[in-house]
Amino acid sequence: MAHVVVIGAGLGGLPAAYELRHLLPKSDTVTLISNEPNFTFIPGLIQIALDLKPIDHVQLDLVPLARRHGLNLILGAVTALDPDRRQVTVKDQTLDYDYVLIATGASLAFDLIPGLGPHGGYTQSVCTPSHALAARQAWLKFLEQPSGPLVVGAAPGAGCFGPAYEFVLMAEHELRKRGLRDQVEIVYITAEPYVGHLGVSGVKNAREYTADLMEQRGVRVIDNAVIQTVTPDAVLLADGQSIPFGYSMILPAFRGVEFIRQVPGLADEKGFIPILPTQRHPEFPHIYTVGVSIKLAQPDVTPVPIGMPKSGQMTEAMATAAAHNIAVDLGAIKAPQIIPTLDALCFAEFGDTGIAYIAAPVIPDPVTGKRRSSYAMRGPWIVWAKAAFEEYFMIKMRQGVGMPWFEKLGLRTLFGLRLLKSVPPSDPSKLAST
C-alpha cells in the first residue's frame, strides 16, 4: 500500500490529489496537506479586492471535499521535509511517504522593498485571500473620498503580471461607473520592458492591444521601473521619480516557501525547485513539483530582471502530468510517462472588455527562438469566457475532477493548445532536464 503526499491545496495541489485518487487503487493513501482550510480560485481574488463579488464565491471548504473524495486531509503548515528518509513534518506529526508532490505556490518577497506590502507596508496585494479582503477594505475607503492617484504595478523580479493589468483596468472601469474617474489619476508601474510583455516576449498583438487599451483608458505607464522604496503616500523609483498615491496595489517578487529553502540540494538560491520535464526532481526521484514552486528560467534578458509566468492553466497541466507519472512509477497504471507542453493561455478581464494571451509553448524553441503559436485576442467575450471558466473550475473542484478529456479537447480545438504529450520509454533523452 503506497502513500502519496500532496503539499498544497491550490490550483495545482487539489487537482493533483484528485487525479491521484482516480489513478491509484483504493488501498493506497493520498494525503493532502494545506495550511489553509479552503481551496481558493486565486484568479478570482481581483474581483474580491474590488468588491465585485463575495469571497465565498471563489472558495470551497476542504474538509467536506476531502471526505467526499477519499483524501486524507491534514490542515497545517509543513515545517520540514526529509528527502532521504522520505518524511514530511506538519506541526507535531511526521509522515512517511512513498512519493511527495509539492504544489505550495511561492512565498511573497515583500521584504525586498522597504514599505512594500500589507504587512507593515503601505501597498495592497491580491495574492492571498486575506490580502484581497484587506485590499477590499482599503478600496472601499478610497472610494468614499479619493485622496490621491491610484498606483498599480509589479516589482522587479515579479513573474506574474496579469493580475496587475486586471486590477488597474478593472479599477479604472469601476471608477468610471461610479462617476469618480475624473478625480483619480492612474499610474501603472512595472518592471516589464514594455507594456503588454507579461513576462513573455514576442506574443503577436500583445504589446499593441495592451498599450492601446491603457492609452484609451488614460492610464500612465512607467515601464522598466525599479521600485526602490514605498512611503505612506508615494512609490519611489531608482531613477529618482516619486509617484504619489492614495491607493496602491503592487505585486511582489516570488521566492520558494521556507521549508523548501531549508532542504539542502532541493532548490536554487531563491527556493525554486528544478525539475525534469516529467515534473520529477533530478536528484530526488520521489519528489515531484508543479506550479509556481518550480524553477522556470526567464529566457529573455531584460533591463530590469523579471520572472517567468506560470499560469493556472499551465499549473493544472503540470499537476495532471505529475499525478499520472507517479501512478506509472507505482505500477498503478501501465502507460508511457507524460509531460506538460507548457502551452499557456491567460484570460485577462478589464471591466467591459478583455485580452486573451496565448503562448504555445511559453518558452520558445532554444534553437529557432520561435513558438509553435503565439498571439493575443481582445473583445468583450473574454470577460464572459473567464467567468464561465471560473464557474466550470469550481464545479470540477466540488465534484473531485482533475483535468477531463473534454477540457483538453476544448482548449486544443478553440485555441490550438496541446497541454500534454506522451514520452515513449525508448526515448530517454526526452525525460532529461531541459
Q: pLDDT tens, 90-142? A: 988 999 999 999 999 889 999 999 999 999 999 999 999 999 999 999 999 99
Q: How far is residue 151's CA from residue 128's CA, in Å, rounded to a whole number?
A: 19
Evaluate whether 297 touches 200 at the Cβ level (below 8 Å). no
**Residue 258 scores a pLDDT above 50:** yes
74, 180, 248, 372 from 432: Cα distances, Å: 34, 55, 44, 22
Of 129-133, 158-162, 169-173, the least confident: 158-162
Alpha helices in 246-309 (DSSP H): 258-261
Q: How far is residue 133's CA from residue 49's CA, in Å, rounded to a whole number?
A: 6
User: What per-residue confidence (pLDDT) applies to 426?
Assistant: 53
User: What per-residue confidence (pLDDT) applies to 35?
Assistant: 95
Burial of 88 (0-12, 13-18, 19+ CB in 10 A): buried
Of 350-354, 381-385, 421-425, 429-433, the least confident: 429-433
Evaluate whether 262 touches 268 at the Cβ level (below 8 Å). no
pLDDT-derived band of residue 430, with 50, 70 and 90 as boundaries? very low
pLDDT-derived band of residue 211, with 50, 70 and 90 as boundaries? very high
271, 409, 418 from 264: Cα distances, Å: 10, 41, 35
Q: Any idea which residue has 471535499 for its cell?
A: 65
pLDDT in tens, 71-97: 999 999 999 999 999 999 998 899 999
Find, among 194, 203, 390, 392, the residue nearest to 306 by Cα.
194
Q: How far is residue 340's CA from residue 321's CA, in Å, rounded to a whole number?
A: 6
Which has the higher per-residue pLDDT, 216 or 419?
Answer: 216
Both ends of the chain: CA-CA distance in Å?
A: 33
Options 195, 323, 346, 358, the catalytic residue: 346
Max Cα–Cα distance, the chain, nearest Å: 66
pLDDT-derived band of residue 428, with 50, 70 and 90 as boundaries? very low
Q: How far is residue 14's CA from residue 287's CA, in Å, rounded to a whole number?
A: 17
Q: How far is residue 273's CA from residue 106's CA, in Å, rounded to a whole number?
A: 11
Q: Is 346 a catalytic residue?
A: yes
CATH for 110-251, options being 3.50.50.60, 3.40.120.10, 3.40.190.10, 3.40.50.300? 3.50.50.60
Print burial letters for 346-357: b (CB count within 10 Å at least 16), e (below 16): bbbbbbebbbbb
Options 62, 81, 160, 355, the catalytic residue: 160
What lies within 8 Å, CB to CB, of 341 at 6+ separation is: 317, 360, 361, 417, 418, 419, 420, 421
pLDDT-derived band of residue 429, with 50, 70 and 90 as boundaries? very low
Find, among 69, 66, 109, 100, the residue nearest to 82 by Cα.
100
Can you read off the three cell numbers belonging to residue 189? 508601474
**Residue 433 scores a pLDDT above 90:** no
**Residue 427 scores a pLDDT above 60:** no
User: What per-residue confidence (pLDDT) applies to 312?
Assistant: 85
Can you read off the three cell numbers belonging to residue 388? 464561465
**Residue 224 scores a pLDDT above 70:** yes
Q: How far is residue 326's CA from residue 198's CA, in Å, rounded to a whole number?
A: 32
Q: How far is residue 166's CA from residue 213's CA, in Å, rounded to a whole number?
A: 12
Burial of 427 (0-12, 13-18, 19+ CB in 10 A): exposed
Q: Is 160 a catalytic residue?
A: yes
Q: How far is residue 293's CA from residue 283's CA, in Å, rounded to a whole number?
A: 16
